[in-house]
Amino acid sequence: MKLISEVHRMRVLAGLIKESDENVQDQIQVWFDLDGVLADMEGSLTNSTELKSLKEKLDNLVKEKFPEWATLTNDELKEKFKIGLDQDPNNADLKELKKAHREYNNYVFKIAGKAGFYASLALMPGAVELVQKANQIVGKKPNILTAPAGNENDPNNPSVIEKRQWVKDNFGDLVDHVEVTTDKGRVVKSKYDILIDDRTKYVDKFTSAGGSAILYKDASQAAAELQNLYNELMAGN
């Protein structure tokens, strides 16, 4: 808290913010997703031959029968075929796509749920620098907000245990604390909570709960958008 107060005092002296901004400054909190933002989950998944085969099956099906969806993310693709099946429940191509998508994603969770998976994840490019930049922008340590594989309330769930240890091993005291939950909206207190996440569904949950969010593409983009969002929140005081 002393460090945060000193950072704030220096910003006031430098004319970067007003003394009246202190209440907003104290409320702003950055939350980082792990998988795909700080931890390279995708890189580890590519080591599985079976998963590669399922992904190729899914990709080929999309290219062959739904080429206009070829650039969509996993979550966006799911949303598309769900809407399509709501409109046409007997569409054979959409049912085949749903099955291939389910098979792939079920296998992802099977791999991610095994002991040792999260412990060995590599860092995403620029991950440490991004966390440091967030601290610099906001003036306080960010938190981690990540979803587990499996039951988040199981004390023996390896993904919960290993994610917490992974953060400690790779970021040490650069972050404040780690929250492991699929309900990412539950940590939101106000618009001054900021989530940086690579999945649209979690961004939407967070903003629906009243928070602010940045859809992660890469470290430099996320840092630039965080700076802009921070400026907007401070200016709106």
Tens-level pLDDT at each residue, the chain (237 residues) = 333 344 445 554 555 544 445 588 889 999 999 999 999 998 888 888 999 999 999 999 999 999 999 999 999 999 999 999 999 999 999 999 999 999 999 999 899 989 999 998 999 999 999 999 999 999 999 999 999 998 999 989 999 999 999 999 999 999 999 999 999 999 999 999 999 999 999 999 999 999 999 999 999 999 999 999 999 999 885
153 close to 183: Cβ distance less than 8 angstroms: no
Q: Residue length, the chain? A: 237
Residue 209: partners with Cβ closer than 8 Å, 6 or more residues away = 185, 186, 188
What is the C-alpha to C-alpha distance for residues 179 and 196, in angstroms, rounded to an integer? 14
Give the 3-state secondary structure percentages of the chain, helix then strand then coil, rounded to 5: 60, 10, 30
Domain edges within the chain: 2-40+122-235, 44-112
Distances in Å between the Cα of 183 and the Cα atoms of 12, 16, 72 are: 36, 35, 24
pTM above 0.85, yes or no: no
- Name 179's bridge partners: 145
- The CATH number of domain 2-40+122-235, selected from 3.90.25.10, 1.10.3720.10, 3.40.50.1000, 3.50.50.60: 3.40.50.1000
Q: What is the DSSP string of 114-166?
A: STTTGGGPPBPTTHHHHHHHHHHHHSS--EEEE--SS-TT-TT-HHHHHHHHH
